[in-house]
Amino acid sequence: MRRRRVNRVAIISMHTSPLDQPGTGDAGGMNVYIVESTKLLAQLGVEVEIFTRATARDLPPVYELAPGVLVRHLTAGPYEEMDRADLPGQLCAFLSGVLRTEAMYDPGRYDVIHSHYWLSGQVGWLAKERWGVPLVHTMHTMARVKNRLLAQGDQPEPLARVVGEQQVVEIADRLVANTADEARDLIELYGAAEQRVAVVNPGVNLTVFQPASQGAARRRLGLPQDAHVLLFVGRVQPLKAPDVLLRAASRMLIDDPSLRGRLVVACVGGPSGNGLAQPSLLTDLAAALGISDVVRVVPPAPQEELADWYRAASVTVVPSHSESFGLVALESQACGTPVVAAAVGGLRTAVRDGVSGLLVDGHDPADWARALHRFVTAPRLRDQLSAGARTHAAAFGWQATAARLMDAYAAAIANLHKVPVAVSNF
């Protein structure tokens, strides 16, 4: 059967722009997902237009991210970063910009809408009804999941978000889940119909993130050649739990004081979300634990430099309380660096326990210290897991992600118009 052609997709990403540097503000794995997947969709012949909120007055109304991929900056609220809690008040203004854009063209400009995060889903819901096209939605994170796994001192997601997510689940023609675990959460926690949920694993840029000399990377970053480098990459907020790494490192030094001269704890990222209330959290905690001499806090880095951090590390640490997938874990493994990660959510898919890294139950710093100390006492463990890490990551290319998204779009169109649909064999 012939699959209905998808010519143009409207991507809604209201609260964060794909042009933002991951690791600061609200920019993270979702931004990487949108950038990489849309580039590959364009290579498959699909025109992509990404709608996002303008955060500066001098941003161009339309910016070409890549051939076939346009970013449209819409005015909705002040020209500055806004807390996500304040963004629902700008939904009407943002939606108005989306609808005005479509109205400038002949009817039928977009074949499908793909919204990312619940705020964008609310916009996509109304645009879907106005344009008569299907809505595909990716949650990325879910309030009910986060509220089950709150970090100590973290604030629960508000009821308004829970209700908003439920509405999007009920209206979307297709829900794209990053992993089977996330699909199960959509079905069990939100009552999503199983036949409307598609599992599409995110990918990794295997051209940027690939193995290279650890020694050369350490020289470029100014790290000692003989150091045990424990790396954290991501937004600094309670959800991501970088404090668990620092507390584990402190425990390692208490148990083995001889490590102090060789241990380096590198944290690459910036404050985000609830972490904005404590912008010096990591340096303050390091001082309180008496480990300031081994902790190095680094601003978010572009992909090429980030790849060097992965290569330079002995192990990458991902202690998050909740993750829909965990692109950091995949990027690290693609560079040949094993990962020690929390056994939660998508990390159970992103990391293959005992093969590409180690999964740790819970967030007790003592448990994390024991897991990390294994890389000190058994250096061959890193070599063993490094080989498994490269093999595991190689199975996650963005080409496969884009192909599966095309299938989800085609299925959503078929459901709306009741036309035959064939699944691709990309």
Task: Mark the binding-site residues, compressed into ranges.
Answer: 15, 21-22, 26-31, 84, 117, 141, 161, 235, 240, 310-311, 313, 323, 331, 337
Q: Which residues pair with 360 in a beta bridge?
A: 342
Joined tokens for residue 181 = 């675990």
Joined tokens for residue 145 = 């999941």
- Distance (Å, rounded) from C-alpha 250 to C-alpha 184? 37
Q: Does residue 71 sit in helix, strand or coil?
A: strand
* Feature table: binding site for 1D-myo-inositol 3-phosphate: 15, 26-31, 84, 117, 141, 161
Question: Which residue, among 85, 101, 69, 45, has the nearest Cα to 409 in the 3D structure?
Answer: 45
* Feature table: binding site for UDP-N-acetyl-alpha-D-glucosamine: 21-22, 29, 235, 240, 323, 331
Please tell me the total number of residues recorded for the chain in this structure.
426
Helices 281-289 and 242-255 pack at an angle, to 10 degrees, of 20
Work out the number of other CB atoms within 10 angstroms of the CB of residue 112.
28
- Distance (Å, rounded) from C-alpha 17 to C-alpha 54? 8
Dihedral-angle region of residue 362 (phi above 0 means left; psi in -120 to 50 means alpha; beta otherwise): left
Half-sphere exposure of 355 (CA within 13 A, CB side): 11
User: What single letter denotes the amino acid at residue 69?
Assistant: V
* Feature table: binding site for Mg(2+): 310-311, 313, 337
Under DSSP, the state recorded for 397 is B
DSSP string, 168-225: HHHH-SEEEESSHHHHHHHHHHH---GGGEEE----B-TTTS----HHHHHHHHT--T
User: What single letter denotes the amino acid at residue 170?
Assistant: E
Question: Which residue, among 141, 184, 123, has the nearest Cα to 28 in the 3D structure?
Answer: 141
- Distance (Å, rounded) from C-alpha 167 to C-alpha 163? 6
User: What single letter denotes the amino acid at residue 29?
Assistant: G
Helix/strand/coil (H/E/C) assignment for every residue in 133-149:
CCEEEECCCCHHHHHHC
Query: Taking a C-beta distance cutoff of 8 angstroms, is the pair 208, 304 a contact?
Result: yes
- Distance (Å, rounded) from C-alpha 419 to C-alpha 91? 33
